[in-house]
Every structure is written in C-alpha cells, then in structure tokens.
Structure 1
Amino acid sequence: MKETLQYVEQMLDESPTIDVTETFERLQTVLAELKAKIDARFELTRDPSSEEFDSYGTYPEGPGGRIEAYTGPEIDWMVHSWLGNPKASFANLHLTVWLGPQVNVPHLGIALLVWPEGWFYQDFIPRVNLVEQGEHYDRHYAPLDADWLRFKEENPDFTWFTSRAGFIRESLSSNAYCYSFPRAQQHIDAVRELLHARVDDWLRWVDEAEPVPEADRPALAATDLAIRRNIADRDPANVMGVRYFGEEMTGRLVRALWGGDRVLPRPT
C-alpha cells in the first residue's frame, strides 16, 4: 500500500488551489449522521464556552469555522467542529467523544480533511496502557483487527498517512485508520460505511460496559484530560489555524477543543 509522509500544510501548498466546497459539504453530512446517532443515545448539553465559536472567520468568502462542545452525565467532552477555507482547497472536520469515568470504554475519535485530496482518521483513543492491560485490548481492539486488515487490503486507492510528528504516531492505537484518498464519491461512501460501523461498535461497548468503581474514577478522569489536552495542543494541523487566524485566536480554539474554558462541570 502507498504511504504519504507530508505535513498537512505541505500537501496543501504543493497542490493546485481549487474549490472543494462540494466535498466539504458531503463530509459535513457524514459527520452530522454520526452525531445524530450519538445524540440519540446520550443526554448532552452544549457548554456555553463554545458558543462564541458558533461561527468565526469570514466563511464562505474566506477562512472560517465552528466549534460545538457538549457535556453530559456520561460524556465528559464531545466536540463537533470544522475549520478551513473550502474555496481554497482546505477543510478540517472533527467529531470526538470523550467519555466520563463511569465506564472504561475507549474514547471515539473521528476527523475528516480535504487538503485538497480527501483524508480521514478514526480511532478508539486508548485510555489505558494496552500492553499492560491485555484484557482491555482483547475486548475492544482484537475483535476489529480483521476488519482493519481487510480495509487495507481491499482499498488500494487509499494511501496510508504516517504523521511526521512522533507524538501523534504514539497516540494511535494498532487499529487506527489514517488514510488519504481521491475525492471520488465511492471513496467517501467507503469512509461513511466504515465510520457508521465503528460508531455502532462504540455505542454497543458503552451499553455493555461494567461500571468503574467510584474510587478509581478520579484517576481515570485525570488521565483522560491529560490525553485530550496533549493531543489538542500538539496537533500538527494547528498550524493551519495560525495561518488563517493568528496565534492568539488559534490558542483559544485549541483550548475549546480540550475544554480549557469549560463552564459546565465534568461528570463524576
């Protein structure tokens, strides 16, 4: 299988500038479908700290974006967001759900990009050391290993994306999906089908999970927050926010992604 090692901004700068609004809107529809499944399962309230980012920038004339952050009795922090300039080849979309400490199910991470090729990421973000806790791996990761291998074998038009940032590579589980692909509709359909299946798996795990003992929950919540903040702070794609909106604004956007200014309390 092919592999790309380019930075996001490198891929963008070395490609022709084109209007990718149509692809951006298709990817928005996919994320909206997935969010609807999650909304139907959980009690969620939008955190007021994200309301100032309901619409920022100058989209559709130029760069813009939106951040919606939610929390609830079972959800520590859910982010549904996008940032970019679709008329000039780039858009970055996220749907990430961080569970509360009442269950020890992996978190759900999804990202979609146009740069101007398509790109997607999906992972069940580990909240434990999988090598240490083999039973956790066996329950949540081993059953999906065959699907992961099958996708790699059956989709030759998809190019494996290897991040040049070692920290990001370290954050991925063994079953993470991280591919670029031509923007043809059949490829978007393949990504959509995969993401729906993975969200269904994740919702089932949550429903079947055993409660975490109350004494163990504070430590798990602290670990979750550290992981979430580190991933947001160290995301190489933050450079695109700086390019469009400057350092100060990008810092505020990144804080919104990990909940640095949240108003509503974390679940206990």
Structure 2
Amino acid sequence: MVNNCAEPIWVAHSTNVQGPQNVKLTRGAAYTYDVPEGGLSATRFWPKTGCDEGGRNCTTGDSVAPCPAGGCQPPIESKFEATFAPRGSAAQTWYNLSQVDGYTLPFKVVPRGAGAEQGSCITSDCSGLSLAQCPGDEDLGNGQFPAYAHQDLRVRDRNGVVVGCMAPCKKWNYPAPWGLGQPESADPGLHLCCPTPIDPATGQCTAANACMTSDACRNTADPRSVEHTEYVLRMHRMCPTAYSYAYDDAAGLHACSSETSFEVTFCP
C-alpha cells in the first residue's frame, strides 16, 4: 500500500488479513502486507482520512466497528479486494477495485511478478476518480419513479466539503442521514442493488420474487437498470476496469497467477 496523497491516510483491512490495523501513511510512505503461503480469501483494504493519530474518529473510512460515537459511516471508501490462491498452485488469484458502494480517493492497482499484465491480470487505473464527478442530481429511477428523480450522491463533512460519493444502491438502502433507508426488495432499489435472496439456479430468481439474476441486473434494455444511472456511466469513464455496481464482472473482475502480488497506490 502506497500513499501519494497530500494528506496522511490510515489503511484499514478485513479481519482475516495479518498485520496491524489503521497503519498511518504520510505522503510517499508505504506498507507491505504479507499473504500466507496457503492463500487468503475475501480480503479487503481501504483508506481512511482525517483521523486522529490512532486512526480513529476519521472523516471517511470508519465504516466498520469500532465506530465513532455518532455511529458507523457508510462503506463508500475506495476499496481493493482480493482472494489469494495458495502460492505455487494452479488456482487463480482474483482481485477487483470496488466502487459498488461508492468511492473516496483515486487509486491504482499494479500487478507484480508472475502473471502480471497477462490476460485480465492488468493494471487497473482509477486515478481519474474525481469527487467533482459525483452526481448531485441523480435520477435513481431513470424516469420511472419521479419521487426519486433528484438525489444528491455527494457525502460532505461537517464543514460541507465533499469527501465521498455514494453509489445508487447505497444511497437507496443506507439509513438516514446519509441514505434513504429503503428495502432492496422494492423498485427502484431492486434494480439498483440487484439482490439475490433466491438461488438463480432454481429459476425462481425473478423481479416478481424480489430477486435479480446477474443477466437481469446487466440488462441495458431494461430502463430501470442501474446501468443507466449517471453514477455508473461516469464510473465507467473514470475507472473502466472496476466494479461500479453488483455484477459488473466484465469490467471489474481480474484473474492472476497464484504468484502475483499487487502494488496499490492512493492518489497516484
């Protein structure tokens, strides 16, 4: 993890990752996390900003417990996620840059070592992420639901400065004061969040049953599809190799060798 931002960041990660939480990185500083030889599944790393020296009481990034007195913040941080295969095995290491919930800082992921820059194991450059491009007047229903036609996805700090951007689904389902606190089972949230409470293999995963298959989620012929939101359209321009919504697999999922490691730079 490398910080090239003007201000310090604190790196947080999922609990299955070895190494300290909330490592403070000043500009130009880096920290390396070791992955066990036997691999590691479903890891997640994200930057926190505006924290105290201990990496708490942050402006962004306090999205998992322990949280500040005011409660957890929405999980909108720019995220790097990976499942590491056992080293030397024929299995693949998978990684993605996730803006499914939103984004904060621009970042870039560069694969290193065996398998780097081969197939889909490519450099993913989200250095173009800009909070200035966060929609301030998003139509969550694409003309189908007038009550949700004018939604501000920008997240501000106590001084009114924009510090993050909420994805359409997160705006829909996250509680107030950040979001609308609405159920994913109801439209337009059904098409924004694409929940799958029913196994698609049963054939019963339909919109009528409050379930969306991956194909239904990606169906651009459906005017309610999240693909039509300004957020997704702008994300695909700013960060074309990242997840901008659930099932954005064609753009966001990358397969690498079990020998591949990664360099993640914030504010590249």
TM-score (norm 2): 0.28
* Structure with greater proportional helix content: 1
